[in-house]
Structures are given as structure tokens and as C-alpha cells.
Structure 1
Amino acid sequence: MTIRRTLQQLQQSLGSESPALDASLLVAHVCGLTREQLYLEPDRLLEPGQQQMLERLAERRRHGTPVAYLLGYKEFYGRVFQVDDRALIPRPDTEILVEAGLQAIDRHSSRPVRVLDLCCGTGCVGITLAAERPGIELQLADIDNDALQLAAENAARLLPTPQQPVLIQSDLFASLSGRYDVIVSNPPYVREQDYRALEMQRWGEPRHALVAREEGLEIIRRIADTVVDYIYPNGYIAIEAADHQAPHIAELLARASFQSVEHLRDLAGHLRVTAGTHTG
């Protein structure tokens, strides 16, 4: 079957929210081509082995496995990160958290900037910061050792040896020591009712990396309650969360002696990151 016909049939059968995109990504993957090359060679025939592999992937997609898990990678901030079900898939909106971190790093120039990516998952935020600003001292922390191993694999592939981060399995700050100039965090913040309503369990991503109690604010509240012991004076924290949670996070940071609290919007115009500078 030709690439053109395969794309048409797959689009019709996937039943996903973005069938055209999903189909092109899967076909390109099994053919060893870029998506652009698919449309330059529409009459190219798939080999029998490629057709069989595609059908296996398509069946898993129909049952809810994210395309990124099927491919084994996801692009984030211009770099390709390895992904699997050990951690959440990097989202484009999280690039706003990277932008916040980069700006904060650039405001510190007197010494190597100590940066912590808390609840790091794949490590995409912290690793991107280190790749964009090679002089920083980076630590990646996550409660899940499997996620931390995935972050280590990404760091080994994307950063040179002198820039390798320190990786620490930790329940937030519990196993950490010292202070940081910049802390970035994309913690679990999805409310239980939203998780159920959106059928997020079908996505195949680890539930514990998504859902938090107390209206999604449990983990963020714990961060705000203890961060003052782990951040330098004039240190900066940036936390990703949902739009409706932004005012609550701003209040939590203000109580913890953070000033200049700001909200940053994502690509859709929603409040996505709340950040502030510690005055201690």
C-alpha cells in the first residue's frame, strides 16, 4: 500500500483528537522518514514489515497509548527527549517554565547559578536550562526513581560530561541540602475530578505525576511551605499549574516572603506559570 493510501486509511480509523497528525507521525516513524518526506514520496510503497509494525502501533493508539510513548521520543524546546511511561510527556506549554528559568538565570552573574528542577520527570526543563546556559550547576529531583532514571538517560544523551546534573531521589526537599538560586517545578496539580472527567487514565501517563489532592494544590502547598529553607535571598521560584490555581499559588508564595509575584501565560493565553523572588 502507498504512503498516501496508508495515511488516508489510518486517519479514518484512529479516532483520536488529532488523527491526521497522529497518522503522519506513526507512518513516518515506521518508514524511517520525516513527516515532510512523506508528502514528497506519496506513492512510495510500505514494506510488509512496516505495514505490520504500523498496525500494531495504530492498535495501541486506538486504545489510548499516547503517540509520544509509541515513538519513544518527544521534541521539547528544539531537543528530542526520550519518553516512556516512567514519566509525563513534555508539553509545549511547559516551555514557558523554561523561559522563566532562563530569564532568572540571566539575572545572576556573580557565580555559577545553582538550579533545581523539582519533580523533574523526564528532566526536560532542567536539562534544557543546562543546555541553554552551560555554566549553571543543575540538580534534578523526583520522588519516583524510575522517572529519575529516565531523566538521567536524557541528560547523558543531551548534555556533555562536564554539564551532567546531580540526580537525587527525594520527596520534594526531604533529601536535598543547601540552597538554590533558581527553582523550577512542574509538580502534580490535576484535580481528581478533572482526572476522571477528562478520562486522563486512558492517556497511559503515570497518575501520581498528574494528580494532587486539595484541589490539585497539595504538592504546591508543600513546596511553598518549605522552600524558604532551600532558596537563597533574591532566589527565584517558578511553578507550573492550571489557570484557576494561579491566584492561590500567588497567595502561597506571598505568605512565604516572595515578592514580585507574576503570572506567565501559555500559548493559549492561560495562566500557566506563577513565579516570585524570595526576599529573605
Structure 2
Amino acid sequence: MLEHHISAAEQASAQRELLTLRDLLRWAVSYLNHDTLSFGHGSDNAWDEAVYLLLHSLNLPLDQLEPFLDARLLASERERYIALITRRVNEQCPAAYLTGQAWLQGHSFRVSPATIVPRSPIAELLEEQLQPWISDPSQVQHALDMCTGSGCLAILCALAFPEARVDAVDLSSEALEVARLNVSDYGLEDRLSLHQSNLFDDLPAQRYDLIICNPPYVNQHSMDNLPKEYLHEPNMALAGGDDGMDLVRRILQAAPDFLQPEGILVLEIGHEYEHFCAAFPELEPVWLSTENSTDQILLLQREQLVS
């Protein structure tokens, strides 16, 4: 197996000898297949990531590789792609940070190291307008996305519920700058408002029909053992304390004051099911299934939180 590093000499050799897209992809996959690299920021394997970075670097449609496989590249194009793969391998930097772009449910969002890379399965549920838990999408008049990061879930929420005004909250001013660009890209400035706040602390008084939240929830043991790729993401967007539930406790305590009587909270907890059940044994949430999970997203009615 190749050494987990691409040297200057190897880059120069690739620049001289690799001519076509097919050549470059074979070379890139060989390095990306190293067992110390971790995937999970938009792709789950070396081939998909190599293809994405190549097509993105060449400004080609991301779904049209085949017609171009045997096309030759300019020296400047080869150099640009080799530089991307070198950073991905040598720095173990997520591909989304290399391109400044991430995809979620077919939608493109800007990202930066100030935001986590969008990957929340809540997006899948929003694509289905949270049915059957929300029977009439037009009844969602006010929605909140807590811990919004890049604003991706807030934007998908606004698209899913076209009658709703959406508030999006984050503590990080740098993340909110990225979110502001995304909101502008989707032309949602008239319906989607961004707020800097420590959870609910500085949020204007408002009752919401729906609150969605992908908070920091990674427990400390898992934080201590994260692959290097995840260490490029902001710690404050991942770390949830010893059991991962530090912010979840605050969210569940404050949420009833911001929910309509029939309002619902949709909360992501990732792989912290056991920690959640231990911390909140009295709660009986509905666990929402997605394509790849059955116990990572929960739904609670306001009355459950009050009682």
C-alpha cells in the first residue's frame, strides 16, 4: 500500500505522466484508499470522492463523468487536481473544505472551516415535509433551526414549508456569515432570519410550530478518538460534554417556552441513543427513521417536554 503522504517528487511525476481523467482518477483512488483516511463528509468511499474533486476542479457537471474519462487535461488542470488530492491525503482535510461546497438532498451549500460539513439526516425528513407528523405543511407558520451552522437545514426547512417564516440561530458569528451567503444564494432573505445567540438566550420571544436542531452531541470519549478529518471542524459544533447531552439538556428545558401548544421538536443526537435514554429516562420520544438510521433523530411534542 502507498505511503500515507504524497511527496513533492510524486506530485511532479503525476504532473508529467498522468494525462487523462482516467489516469488521474486511478492515481487519486490509490492514495485515497489508504486505511488512515476517513470518509463521511459527503461521500463514503475513495472513488466517489476522487470523482467529485476531479469534476469540481474542472467545472464539469457532477453527474457526467463517462463522456470525459479519456479526455486529456491541460497542465494547469492536472496541477489543480493533484494539489487538491495532495491536500486531502496529506492534511486529511474533508473534501468539502477543499471545494468550499457541500451537497445535501441534492442542494448545494457553501461551507467553510467555521461550519461543520452538512450531513444531517434531518434533511431527508424535511424533504418529506416531516409527514405524517405534520399533516398540512401550510400550517407551519413559524419554524426555528437551532445550531444552524451553514444554514443548510434552515434553508431546507424554508423550502419544505413555503408559508413559514424561519429563524436560524448559532453562537458563532463566523458560521452565521457563511449562513448569510447561503440564504442569499437561495433568495430567502424575506423569510429566513439569522440570529446570533447562545441557544435560546438572546432569541426574540416567539412561539414556533416546529423547532429542528442538530446540536453538538458527541460525547467526550468519542471526541478523544475522532478521525483527523473531523478535527478540521469547529470543536464547538461537535462536543457535547462527558455524555454528549450538555446542550441537549438546555434545549429540552427551554424549548417549551418557544413552542406553540401543538408544536414539535425534532432533535438529532447521532450515535448517542444510550446516553440520551440514560439522561432522560422519563421521556418517550418518537424515533424517526431515515435511510441509514432508526435511533438518531427524535420527535417530542411540547406537552411531553412540559410534563
Q: What is the TM-score with the length of structure 2 in the denominator?
A: 0.81
Q: Percent identity?
A: 27
1:248 partner SS: helix
Task: Provide Cα deviations, 1:201-228, integer angstroms capped at 9, x if missing partner.
Answer: 6551111101111310000011111112
Task: Provide Cα deviations, 1:21-53, integer angstroms capped at 9, x if missing partner.
Answer: 121111111222124433212221111111111
Does structure 1 residue 275 correspond to structure 2 residue 299? yes
1:174 partner SS: coil
Aligned equivalents of 1:156, 1:244: Cα separation in 2: 34
Taking a change above 3 Å as real, the CA distance of residues 46 and 97 of structure 1, as seen in their structure-2 partners, is same
Query: Bigger shift: 203-212 or 97-106?
Result: 97-106
Taking a change above 3 Å as real, the CA distance of residues 173 and 101 of structure 1, as seen in their structure-2 partners, is farther
Q: Specify which structure has the higher proportion of helix.
A: 1
Does structure 1 residue 11 correspond to structure 2 residue 5? no
1:162 partner SS: coil
What amino acid does structure 1 have at the position aligned with 2:195?
Answer: I
Task: Provide Cα deviations, 1:86-137, integer angstroms capped at 9, x if missing partner.
Answer: 1111115232453586435544756x61100000111111110111221101
Question: Which runs of 5 or more residues in structure 2 are unaligned?
Answer: 1-18, 39-44
Taking a change above 3 Å as real, the CA distance of residues 54 and 73 of structure 1, as seen in their structure-2 partners, is same
Describe how 1:1-280 pairs up with structure 2 within 5 A: 1-14=19-32, 15=34, 16-17=37-38, 18-62=45-89, 63-91=91-119, 93-98=121-126, 102-103=130-131, 104=133, 106-107=135-136, 109=138, 113-163=141-191, 165-176=192-203, 177-200=205-228, 202-245=230-273, 248=276, 252=280, 261-279=285-303
The Cα shift of 1:254 comes to 5.4
Aligned equivalents of 2:161, 2:79: Cα separation in 1: 43
Task: Provide Cα deviations, 1:32-80, integer angstroms capped at 9, x if missing partner.
Answer: 2124433212221111111111122112101111111112111112211
Aligned equivalents of 1:192, 1:251: Cα separation in 2: 15
User: How many residue pairs were aligned?
Assistant: 274
Query: Bigger shift: 91-100 or 206-215?
Result: 91-100
Task: Provide Cα deviations, 1:168-227, integer angstroms capped at 9, x if missing partner.
Answer: 100000011222111000000011211222325655111110111131000001111111
Q: Specify which structure has the higher proportion of strand.
A: 1
What amino acid does structure 2 have at the position aligned with 1:144?
Answer: S
What amino acid does structure 1 have at the position aligned with 2:22?
Answer: R
Q: What is the TM-score with the length of structure 1 in the denominator?
A: 0.88
Question: Which runs of 5 or more residues in structure 1 are unaligned?
Answer: none
Taking a change above 3 Å as real, the CA distance of residues 43 and 70 of structure 1, as seen in their structure-2 partners, is same
Task: State the superposition RMSD in angstroms.
Answer: 2.4
